[in-house]
Amino acid sequence: MAREQTKSTLGGRLREFFFAEQSPYGMALVRMFLPSVAMIPMVRRFPHVRELFSSEGTPQPLFELFGQTNPFPLLSPPLAASLYGLMMFGMLCVVLGWRTRLSLCVAVPLYIYFNLLDSVGTMTKYTVIASHILLLLTLSNCGAVWSVDALLKKRTLGQNATAIPPVFPVWPARLTQFLFCFIYFGAAITKIQTESFFTGEQMRYWMLSNWNYSNPVGEQMAMWTPLLLAGAYFTVVWEIVFAFLVWRPGSRLIMLGLGAFFHFMTWLTLGLYIFPLICLSGYLSYVTESDIVRIRRLIRRVKLPTKWLAYPRELVVRAVEARPASVPVLASYLVVAALSAVSAAEVEYRLDAYGLLANNGPLPLKTVDSQVALAMIRDKTPVREKDKYFSFEIGKHLLGGQLADRCSEYEFGDVVVAQCNLNPPHEDLWVECLLQDEQKRTFEQSGQFVTRDMLYANFYYHFGNALVPGKYFVVLRSSGKEIYRRTLYLRGDPASVPEMNEMMTN
């Protein structure tokens, strides 16, 4: 009997968790912010519709990368531009909340279609996340509040309208929240299996690159090894515990705040823009009715001017109400959608990406120089030996296998740690490290194999009492060539350490 009661209680909790009725404020916020962010790169790609998404260009469908036949048709440039314009119109209507569900049914399949046609540039991690959230928005009642649809309904009901917001089952928001839990947990499992992530090397190379956009802050932070190591462990722990603590009232805001800080740092240090904004837009699904009440109280207390946020919706409502009474709202929506599609095709034609109009026909192809073509196909220029190495530094302490400090002054009895970092990929290498004085006399020499899977190598020198204070050099050599030279100064009294049989140990 107790067992059945426990099951009943568990089932009741699950039903309450997924089917409790709430006003869809969180999903309405997602509806307004996520399509706005997702359309930023799509609008920038509009001038290149002919090249990226039409039969006259060079699209790269995802299925062809896996050796499969592309199930989607490649459309002519005018038709591709028309559908692209229709997608942008649908996204704009989703943001405003005009015929919300119909707009999502129009925009979401087209958004996924165009992303799948350009798997090289358009389809990325953030477009995959955005596609899933947009699909969940289609299944939700996100247009019931803060939308043109809600305003039109309120004005239609007139005096019968109520100030109480409508309520619906909360399961679409729950699925959106679960999506982020699985994303973070899967990312943590992937990072755990990547050794270079916990040594900070992977993050360092990413920070120093401009694969995304310029990130000068990341370039400065890339050399702070302790910070990289602490950030790596913090990220993995946060991604694992996110799914377990974000549901608890006491830790929900903490986990979401840490997530917002994490995505802010990806923008600051890695040059990511759209990806963190997409994720933060999805975080709005965690907003509850009680959160909205507290936010409204804060707005009233601070007296923030928020009325202007409703102006775009008001303008659309006025435009819809200005139509002839005999014309249904759906008909006016379809007319505007058709005009958007035709206008997009005309604008794309006038942009003349291939210069067809300006030159009365296609431009002739330019012949590539044969030597340049051969260099691009089979360039046999060897990689310079120094280009195989990223850095070479000396210090005293290691943290997580990485050099934690850099210094140039040492005393007798200190241990010098010399570390070289390599640029992947590289072949198996024999690397040597030498200790020389100002007359380039070698006092100690050691070497080790650095296999192709290694990204760094460490060399250790323990100063005994056989040297004299002065200026010395730690030299890195590869294939018999000097790559780096670092200066160090030996201070103190040799008699301060016990006499050793050997001058140094390695």
pLDDT tens digits along 349-358 = 998 877 777 7
- The predicted model gives 138-148 an average pLDDT of 93
Cβ 412 vs Cβ 494: under 8 Å: yes
Structure confidence at residue 159 (pLDDT): 63
* CATH 2.60.40.1930 describes domain 386-505: yes
- The predicted model gives 282-290 an average pLDDT of 93
- Residue 83 makes CB contacts below 8 A (sequence gap 6+) with 75, 110, 113, 341
* 186-231: pLDDT as tens digits: 999 999 988 778 888 788 888 888 777 788 888 888 878 788 888 8
Structure confidence at residue 160 (pLDDT): 67
Structure confidence at residue 161 (pLDDT): 66
- pLDDT-derived band at 505 (thresholds 50, 70, 90) equals very low
| Closest alpha carbon to 167 in 144, 150, 139, 147 | 144
Structure confidence at residue 99 (pLDDT): 94
| Closest alpha carbon to 85 in 22, 57, 43 | 43
- Residue 502 makes CB contacts below 8 A (sequence gap 6+) with 464
HSE, side-chain direction, 13 A CA sphere, residue 189: 6
Question: How much is the mean pLDDT over the chain?
Answer: 88
Q: Which two tokens stand for residue 342?
A: 């035709």
| Closest alpha carbon to 479 in 449, 506, 437, 459 | 449
Structure confidence at residue 98 (pLDDT): 94
Q: Confirm whether pTM is higher than 0.75.
A: yes
Residue 108, judged by CB atoms within 10 A of its CB (0-12, 13-18, 19+), counts as buried
Report the C-alpha gap between 198 and 315 in whole angstroms.
53
- Return the domain boundaries, the chain: 13-345, 386-505
